[in-house]
Every structure is written in structure tokens, then in C-alpha cells.
Structure 1
Amino acid sequence: MELSFPYGKEFLKININDERIKGILVSNLHHYKTDKTQDELVVEALKNPIGTQRLSELAKGKNKVVLIASDHTRPVPSKAIVPHMLAEIRKGNPDADITILISTGCHRETTKEELVSKFGEEICKNEKIIIHDCDKSPLVHIGTLPSGGDCILNRLAIDADLLVAEGFIEPHFFAGFSGGRKSVLPGIASRTTVLANHCSEFIADSHSRTGILENNPIHNDMMWAAAHAKLAFIVNVIINEKKEAIYAVAGDFKEAHKAGCDFLSSLCKVDAKPADIVISTNGGYPLDQNIYQAVKGMTAAEATVKKGGVIIMLAKSNDGHGGEGFYHQMADEPDIQKTLDLFMSRGRNETQSDQWQTQIFIRILQRAQVIYVSDADDQLIRDLHMIPAHSLDEAMKTAEKICGNPDAAVTAIPDGVSVMVIE
């Protein structure tokens, strides 16, 4: 059987004997078909908002409008969303002063080229776009999160007469799902707020997992932040493997987001197929640009690889490790258990940048060895306690040697960020 896996903007393929394959875990989302275009889906959602008035009604009399938009690390089809949101706002208030605020969270700044790719030349030329910086943007303290952390957000959003957001919903490895409230926290939050929300205690909580919202402490903080920032309206889409919108919701940030999550859950839950070797990806570009983000795709493999087995992770990683803190937390201490113990000893407000990602990564490494296929430097991969490989065939041969079995069972996950693997 020939298996194909997204890698950057291309695909990597491998032939594996059928009898070795325990399962190919693919979201039914990829088989879902709609007879509507992306634009038609968004327009229809805007005309039928969930739990609130139409955006054009909300915009009446609101002069200072802020539209939170996703950054370069998210495959949101913004060209099919933002123009319709802008039109709807201006339908309600033609003179509205609109700012598009790019929700980078703690990511690097989005480049001009990435903005053009995301929104198109026209929006980049004609609209006011501000990129959030979690350290340098004007920030304001608006209260204390349920967790006890300080809620500090971009002042531009807090000072807005109307705050709205675009985004997409996918399974998220500790927030349950992306989208909705995540536009605010971590999207436009200060580093201090993000660190408190991503503390080791919460990351270790059994409810902080893919597909879980109820009793998820990370989600609870995010909901509080969005409510107190007065996020009034969202447009969120669900995308297929081609990064095309196949479903859209609009309206109240709680109710519309829940409707989108319910739809997604009905399609992307898959049963684990335990195997010695599990191949996973981050769904290709743009989510596989660095190793930091690739931890997400590894969590899908973690849920189905046998203890002591091997995960083969495919991620182009042309941006390298993706986080200085993440890199040094892994590279500077050979004993990952010591690193984990250090994280768990820190209080909620003592969290350091990237430790949540490192904490989850360590959890994965304590379950299975990881062979990493990428364009990154081999030494970088070794520094991060993984085994480098330059092709899928090479990775498979290495995995078979580790397992001591050339016929070791294999489970394939072509898109590790699109499925919720149920153990």
C-alpha cells in the first residue's frame, strides 16, 4: 500500500505491506463535501448568526471597530472571511474606523509578505493592520483570571467600541479546540497572561486534552478573557486537508464556537489503533514550519503508539525550532525528567516561555522515541532528544531497527492536527 503524507507544500510517500498496517486514522472531515464555495459559506453564516444579532446591526453607532485576525502560523482562509466581515461592518456603519489586529500570541511578527499571502494585496493596501506584540504593544490590565493570573490584553482591543474576530476551529492538544475565545487569549494577550494560562499545573490536568472543553482549566481562563474583553462576534470556519473552508459559523463567541466544535467532533473523532510505529504530520504548510508547532501532530501519535514504540514525525521545519525557550529547555538538560520536575515545581505565575510545549513534548518522549523527518539541521534534532532522518524510507528503516522487527505494526495519521484520537 502506498501512503502519502503532507510535508510543507508537497507530499512524502512510502510503500508498506498491507498486513503491517493497523490503521490509517483520517478524519471524516476530509470526506465531507459541500456544494457551496468558501465565500458562500461565510456569507450564509453572517446572514444567520448564532446567539446574537447580525454583525451589521452590532456595528451601528460603533465607530472604533477592531477585527482580530489570525497570524501566519494558522491556515485560516482569511481571504474568504475578512472581506465579508468588513463589508458587513460597513453596511451597519459606513464610516467605521476599522483596525485589523493580528493575533500573534507569543509568536514572531507576521511579515508583510505573509500578510499579503493571507489577506491579498487589496486589504493590505487599503486597511489598517496592526500586529500584536505580547511584550511591546500597548497593554492594559482588565482583571484576574479564574486561575489567579493577571489578564493583560492589547489596549487597542479593549478600547474598541466593537470587538470581533475571525478564525478556524480544529482539535487543539491542550485547549480542546482552537477558535472562538482563543483569538483573545492567547491571541492578543501579554506574555505574562499567556504564561499564567499555560502553567504546568493546567497542562498536566487530565481535562487539558484534545477535544475536551468541560472542566478544562485552560479553556475556562480563555472564556473569561474573551467575555471581559467584550468579544462581541466571531466568524470561524472548519477546513479540510486542502485548507479550504467546508463549514462556517458566525455569532456569539460562546454559542457559535460550540456549534462549530460540535460539528467538528462529529467528524474527526477516530479510535486509536495501537501500533509499534506511528507516522504523523502537522498537516503540511503552514503548521509544519517549525518543531515547536510539530509537537501538536505528535500528540495524535502519542494517543495510539504503544509504550516504548516509535513515532515518525514529518514536518518540514524550515523555520527551525520555533522557540528559544523550547529549544534551551530541551537542549540544555540531558535528563528530561529533571526538566519536567522543575516545571512541576513552578507556581502558576512562575511559568516560563514555551515550557507548556516542552512539558507536552517530554510526556511524548517518555512514551516513545521520535524520529523526525525535516529540512532542519541534524544536530538541532539531536539537541531536542530526537533522531533525525531525511526521508520517510530512512525513518522507517531506523524505526524497524529500534523495534527489532522489520515487520513491526504501523499506524498512519496523515494529518495529526485534524483528528481526535480516542484511546
Structure 2
Amino acid sequence: MTISLGYGTGQQEVSIPDRNLQAVLMPRGTEKQEDEDILLRKALRHPIGTPQLRTLFRSGEKIAVVASDMTRPLPTSRIMPVLLEELTAGGARLEDITLIFGLGIHRHHTEAEKRKLAGEAVYERIRCVDSDPEDCILLGYTSRGTPVEITREVASADRIVCLGNIEYHYFAGFSGGAKAILPGTASRNAIQKNHSHMMEPGAASGCLEGNPVREDIEEAAAMCKIAFILNVVLDAAKRIIWAAAGDTVQAHRAGCRYVDSCCRRKLQSAADIVIVSQGGAPKDLNLYQMQKALNHAAYAVREGGIIIMAGYLGEGLGEPVFEQWMREAEEPKELVRKITKNFCLGGHKAAAIGSVLEKASIFLVSSLQESLVREIFMHPFGSVQEALQAAFQIMGEEASVVVMPAGGSILPDLK
């Protein structure tokens, strides 16, 4: 069977003998049935847990719309025209609406990138700015001690509307919902304190109940003036296939249930070889982002197995602290030991990769220099097909193979 995997803006193809192919894990029941605008308008007309957005503010109030940055697949440019339609129907003036891209700890956008994210028409009609983790207002502390330091553009607004896409997240359970605020628009200190709970029980992909990271996020967000959220679910082609609006928690949970129904896939046994991709740009910009797909692949591979990861990684490793940790470690287990002794934002993803490396070998197909790939304890290959042939030589010609073309979106379940 020949399978195509997203790789940057192109594709990688791999041919797998039928006798070896155990499963191709893709979302189920996600065939696009309705126009995106119709889905969005239905969600706005029938919000969950709140009145309609157009009734939740008074004319003249400053409205902050929080969206994701370019490392996330949220189709802001397709959502914003419908959202602006709803806001102006309620009497909002365009000069009172600001679109804020939540950077977390990622780099700032260029003006061209902001224009692309917002869409040409929206960019010309309203202010579009990045969050600033260096210019935050302290709103208080969560019960776990996280300082709720939120970028001034958001914290000083009269009403906040959060956008997001919902998919699995390796320690917050799911993306979306209140994550637009923390980590999206928070200070580095706030993000670091929140993420320090990632090694605790319950902080796992697909887990919400008893998840210390998610609970801390939602406690922090409750201190903000979030009036409304509009969250979507995307298919492998990044089209909107589902949308919900309304209360920060209730609407988000509806989306999580939908994702589980489509994307939690049962496996009878762990595979010898797992081939994983993030589905291409923008999710495979750098290794820092690719880690999400790698984490899910680790659920599907057996101890001592091989993960073949395909990602273009045009921006390299992607984050300075993460890169420093990866390049300075002498062995993978050092990364895990280090994070338990001294939690460090950026280092947390290095520790997550170190944990996977303790379980399986990683064959990396990317644009990175081979010397760098080896330096970070992985094995470089020029193509997925070449990597698979090498994996068969190690694991045997009868080795079982699981393929995850949209690795960050699929949660293998071996329970």
C-alpha cells in the first residue's frame, strides 16, 4: 500500500507491504458535510452555556479577539469574517475590536504573516497585533501558585472572545478553550509555572478529569473577562468540520467529545514500527512543534521499536532553550532527569522527547543537517521509504507497521 504524508508544503510517499501494515490511523467520520460559514453561523446562533455573543457587550466596549499564532492550524482568516459579522450585528464598532495573536513563547510575526493569518479584508478593517509576554498585567494567582500575568491588550479589554481549534495536547489533554489565554497570551513566568505540572499524574493527551495543567489553565482564565469562545475542529485537509461557541468550559468540552469520537483509535497491540507525520505545514515548521506528533506515536510503538518521523523542519529545532537542552545532553535519560530537578520552559519538550527516546529509536526525515540530527540522538534519512527499509533491516522483514499521517490529531488507545 502506498501512503502519502504531508511534508512541509509537499508530500512524502511510502510503500508498505500489505503483510506488514497493521493500521493506518486517521480520523473517522470527519467527511466535510456543510459549508464552513454555515457551521460557524450555526455555532454562533446556538451557543452552549451562554446567550448569543451579540447580546453580551455594549456598544463602545473594547473587544479583544484572541487567536492562535502561525504555529497553529487555526483558520483565523476564515473564521474572522463570520465573527465580525456577529459582533457588528450587536453594535460593536470596528475601531473597538482588536485581533490579538497569542504567541505564548513563540517568535513575533512579521506584518506579512499577521496579514495572512487575519486575511486581507480583516487586516485592513481592524487592528491586528501580537501578544507581548513582556507587557502583562497581573490578575492574581491560581491555587497552584501560577501568576496570572496576561498581555495588556487582552487584560485591559472590556470583553474577550477566544478562538481555537480543538485537538489532542500531550499534557493539557486537549488544545482549545482557555488555552488561548494561558499559554497563548500569558507571560513566560506564567507559562513556565503552569507547564511545570506536566510530569504529574493526569497530565496526558486526551485526559481532562484530574489533569493538573488543564485545571490550572481554566482557573487562570476564569480571572479574565472571557465573554465567549468559538472553537473548531479541523480535518486532515485543515477544513472546518465542526464548530461550537459559548462558555469557555462547556463549549470546549463539547468539542473534546467530538474529537474523541473521531480521533481516539483503538489498537490491539503496539507496533514494531510507527511512521508519523504532523500533516505538513505549518505544523512541521520545527522540531519543537513536531514533538506533539512524536508523543502520540510513542503510544503506538512497542518498547525497543522504531518511530519514523517525517517533518520538513524548515525553522530547525525552533526554540532556543529547547535547542540548548537537546544539544547539550549526553544521553536522552539526562533530559528526563534534568526536568524533574529543575523545570524549565523549552526544556520541557526536550524532556518529553527524551522520554520517547528511552522507549524507541527515532528515524528522522527532515531538512536538518545530518550532523545535527545525530547530535540530538536521532537517525537522519533522506526519505520515509529509505527509513522504512532501514527499520525492516533492524526489526525484521515481518515487522508490524502503524502509520499516523496526522500524528498530532490521532490518539492511539491500547487500553
TM range (shorter): over 0.9
Q: Residues 280 and 312 of structure 1 are in contact (CA less than 8 Å); yes or no, is this contact kept in structure 2?
A: yes
Letter in 2 for 1:20: N
Distance, in Å, in 1 between the alignment partners of 2:126 and 2:373 is: 41
1:422 aligns with 2:407: no
- The one-character-per-residue Cα deviations of 1:179-235 (angstroms, maximum 9, x if unpaired) are 010000000000000001111xx2222311111011100001110111111211011
Partner of 1:407: 398
Distance, in Å, in 2 between the alignment partners of 1:206 and 1:18 is: 38
Partner of 2:245: 250
Distance, in Å, in 2 between the alignment partners of 1:359 and 1:333 is: 10
Distance, in Å, in 2 between the alignment partners of 1:194 and 1:91 is: 35
Structure 1 residue runs without a partner (length 5+): none
Distance, in Å, in 2 between the alignment partners of 1:271 and 1:111 is: 42
1:362 aligns with 2:354: yes
Distance, in Å, in 2 between the alignment partners of 1:342 and 1:61 is: 52
SS at match of 2:272: strand
Q: Residues 62 and 161 of structure 1 are in contact (CA less than 8 Å); yes or no, is this contact kept in structure 2?
A: no
Ranges of 4+ aligned residues in structure 1 off by more than 3 Å: none
Please, what TM-score do these two structures have when normalized by structure 2?
0.96
SS at match of 2:407: coil
- The one-character-per-residue Cα deviations of 1:339-390 (angstroms, maximum 9, x if unpaired) are 32221112xxxx3221221121111000001001011222221222111111
Distance, in Å, in 2 between the alignment partners of 1:339 and 1:256 is: 37
Task: Please point out which of 269, 275, 291 is paired with 2:287.
Answer: 291
Letter in 2 for 1:389: F
Distance, in Å, in 2 between the alignment partners of 1:152 and 1:37 is: 38
Shift of 1:119: 2.1
Distance, in Å, in 2 between the alignment partners of 1:102 and 1:44 is: 25
Q: Residues 59 and 89 of structure 1 are in contact (CA less than 8 Å); yes or no, is this contact kept in structure 2?
A: no
Letter in 2 for 1:382: R
Identical aligned pairs, as a percentage? 33
Distance, in Å, in 2 between the alignment partners of 1:309 and 1:38 is: 41
Letter in 1 for 2:222: A
SS at match of 2:380: strand
Structure 2 residue runs without a partner (length 5+): none
- Tell me how large the CA RMSD over aligned residues is: 1.4
Shift of 1:117: 2.3
1:9 aligns with 2:9: yes
Change in 2 beyond 3 A, CA 1:14/1:150: same
Partner of 1:22: 22
Task: Please point out which of 28, 33, 47 is paired with 2:31.
Answer: 33
Count of matched residue positions in the alignment of Structure 1 and Structure 2:
412
Letter in 1 for 2:262: L
Shift of 1:34: 4.1
Q: Residues 314 and 373 of structure 1 are in contact (CA less than 8 Å); yes or no, is this contact kept in structure 2?
A: yes
1:193 aligns with 2:180: no
Shift of 1:113: 2.4
Task: Please point out which of 42, 45, 60 is paired with 1:44.
Answer: 42
Partner of 1:263: 258
Distance, in Å, in 2 between the alignment partners of 1:422 and 1:321 is: 29
- The one-character-per-residue Cα deviations of 1:231-258 (angstroms, maximum 9, x if unpaired) are 1101111000110000100111111111
1:372 aligns with 2:367: no
Partner of 1:66: 64
Q: Residues 284 and 313 of structure 2 are in contact (CA less than 8 Å); yes or no, is this contact kept in structure 1?
A: yes
1:311 aligns with 2:307: yes
Partner of 1:384: 376
Alignment of 1:3-402 (within 5 A): 3-28=3-28, 31-61=29-59, 63-95=61-93, 97-134=96-133, 136=134, 138-199=135-196, 202-272=197-267, 273-346=269-342, 351-402=343-394
SS at match of 2:408: coil
Shift of 1:139: 0.7
Shift of 1:413: 1.0
Distance, in Å, in 1 between the alignment partners of 2:97 and 2:139 is: 22
Distance, in Å, in 2 between the alignment partners of 1:125 and 1:414 is: 36
Q: Residues 288 and 294 of structure 1 are in contact (CA less than 8 Å); yes or no, is this contact kept in structure 2?
A: yes
